[in-house]
Amino acid sequence: MNQKIDVIRARLKAAQDRKKSYADKRRRPIEFKEGDMVMLKVSPWRGCLADDSMWVRLNEITLNNKLEYVEEPVAILDEKVKEIRNKSMRTYKVQSRHRKGSECTWESEDFVKEHLPSLHAV
């Protein structure tokens, strides 16, 4: 059984190496010049419908040092307490800039305290 597992691992490793080699040979650096028209696709990392597209003015976009889109929370719209077995968990409905009302996210109390202290009202 262990020999079969070793053979399977070796074949998987060989396939991964082949794919990586193929991708590395064809990868090229992307360079932009001032004035170039580019399309920026932003993937949400939590609580949003991934297929919805939205248009935002370029000067309204904030990027962090890793060039990731940073959503700016604007308001806490709602609060509810979930009862889970023998404990309760408080969650907040947070609206971020550039999101509509139906696309707000529910965040835990810990997340709100850590990342949104100016909006936290507890």
Contacts of 18 (CB under 8 A, 6+ apart): none
Bridge-based pairing state of the strands 105-108 and 73-84: unpaired
pLDDT, residue 100, reads 52
pLDDT, residue 122, reads 47
pLDDT, residue 3, reads 95
Per-residue pLDDT of the chain (122 residues; tens, 9 = 90+): 999 999 999 999 999 999 999 888 888 888 888 888 888 776 666 554 445 555 667 776 777 888 777 777 778 888 899 888 888 888 888 887 765 555 688 888 888 888 777 766 54
Domain borders along the chain are 2-29+38-115
